Amino acid sequence: MPSRSCYAAASLMAGSWKIDFSSFPDLHHEIVDLVAEGDKVVVRFNVTDTHKGELQGIPPTGKKISFGAMDFITLMDGKIIEGWLSVDMMELM
């Protein structure tokens, strides 16, 4: 079973890029899978939101978005020292 620090790291990484989505104010992420082995943690999560603000010149549409993503995290002494994010942007098409 993953440790508490694994869950904390997963939650932090899954929500860390929230600042990049200021056009999507009701961002929500749900952890679907969490796997930990040694100093590695892999998190698969789903993201949902609503396009409520201008995004790169595109006016708000009010449309809901949903996509999946995965984080690959390396921990050392209970701290994140490396993280790789993979997002399935094709789900947005």
> Is-above-0.75 flag for pTM?
no
DSSP-derived letter for residue 61 is -
- Per residue in 70-89, pLDDT (tens digit) is 999 998 988 888 988 888 87
Phi, psi of 61 (to 5 degrees): -110, -20
pLDDT band at 42 (very low <50, low <70, confident <90, very high): very high
Average pLDDT over residues 29-54: 90
pLDDT band at 25 (very low <50, low <70, confident <90, very high): confident
Q: Domain residues of the chain, as ranges?
A: 4-92
Residue 9 above 70 pLDDT?
Answer: no
Average pLDDT over residues 16-29: 68
Domain 4-92 has CATH 3.40.50.300: no
Q: 5: closest CA among 62, 73, 92?
A: 73
**Stated length of the chain:** 93
